[in-house]
Amino acid sequence: MQDLDDFLTYLVNNIDGALAAVIGDADGLLIEQYPKDGEDLSILTAQWTNVMSALESVTTSLKAGELKEVMITADKVMGYARNLNDELFCFVLMNPSGNIGKARLYSEQIAKRMLEVFA
């Protein structure tokens, strides 16, 4: 069985422009990050949890169903997040020219396998 580090490494190494990837939980805790020796992404994970919670409230108000994924772009970075379940999400940090299509595709392809680590 692969571990979370393998999955996050796969994402960063195969998504053009990817800088880092994390698994976080609904409480804002960083579960795993790649690269491990990079900047500590604990604060980013906690802040992103707040964003996801706010957007889940919006989808509830709109009666839009379950929030699946979110993308954010800024001048210097781009981020993509996929909810894995009610408690966990995967977030990929990219440079502004990163390949969002690959981020969506690859994170969707490995989402179920990432959850198996927690089973």
CA 119, CA 19: separation in Å to the nearest integer? 28
How far the first Cα of the chain sits from its last, in Å, is 12
DSSP conformational letter for 63 = T
CA 116, CA 7: separation in Å to the nearest integer? 12
State if pTM tops 0.85.
Answer: yes
What pLDDT digit, counting tens, does each position of 75-110 carry? 999 999 999 999 999 999 999 999 999 999 999 999
DSSP conformational letter for 18 = E
Assigned fold of 4-116? Beta-Lactamase (3.30.450)
Where are the domains positioned within the chain?
4-116
